[in-house]
């Protein structure tokens, strides 16, 4: 019985300790500005569920298609938009604006959408299964 209890506790401990963050939702919204030389781009918003606190989990970069994004805004939903401290279970919003459009070619492995992160000083990655496209914005 003691062995069973120790095994049960260790499974719970290791199961909770090494969980990876989960991607809840990912959206993209294209935009065009007619005024400024027909510039365009895409705004991305990715929400993930934190599996650890700020000291153990660090978001390193995001890859959309073949484009690596290292310059993004990170905030915790339900807190100040400048708060970057999170704990397990918090929803983290990763936002970035990409000027121009990202060319995506279907069925190409290098065009996978991935979040790169560090958990307990080990580099890992989390695949983004789908990106929902929101209606485009046209700015006069």
> pLDDT tens, 9-25?
655 555 454 577 889 99
CATH number (domain holding residue 89): 2.60.40
In a domain, 119, yes or no: yes
pLDDT of residue 43: 92
pLDDT of residue 117: 92
> pLDDT tens, 99-124?
876 655 444 455 688 899 999 889 99
pLDDT of residue 105: 47
> pLDDT tens, 29-70?
998 887 767 788 899 999 999 999 989 999 999 998 878 899
> pLDDT tens, 72-101?
999 999 887 777 889 999 999 999 998 876
In a domain, 59, yes or no: yes
In a domain, 121, yes or no: yes
pLDDT of residue 3: 54
CA distance 14 to 30: 41
Element spanning 11, H or E:
helix 2-17
- Residue 67 or residue 139, greater confidence: 67
The total of structural domains in the chain comes to 1
In a domain, 8, yes or no: no
CB distance 25 to 36 below 8 Å: no
CA distance 102 to 29: 12
pLDDT of residue 106: 47
The CA–CA distances, whole Å, from 42 to 53, 61, 71, 128 equal 30, 17, 14, 17
């Amino acid at each position: 019985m003691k062995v069973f209890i120790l095994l049960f506790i260790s499974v719970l401990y290791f199961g909770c300790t090494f969980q990876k963050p989960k991607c809840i939702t990912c959206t993209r919204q294209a935009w065009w500005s007619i005024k400024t030389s027909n510039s365009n781009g895409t705004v991305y918003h990715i929400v993930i569920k934190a599996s650890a606190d700020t000291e153990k989990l660090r978001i390193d970069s995001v890859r959309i298609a073949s484009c690596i994004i290292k310059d993004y805004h990170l905030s915790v939903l339900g807190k100040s938009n400048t708060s970057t401290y999170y704990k397990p279970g918090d929803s983290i919003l990763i936002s970035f604006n990409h000027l121009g459009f990202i060319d995506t070619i279907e069925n190409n492995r290098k065009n996978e959408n991935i979040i790169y992160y560090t958990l307990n000083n080990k580099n890992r990655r989390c695949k983004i299964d789908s990106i929902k496209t929101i209606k485009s914005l046209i700015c006069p």
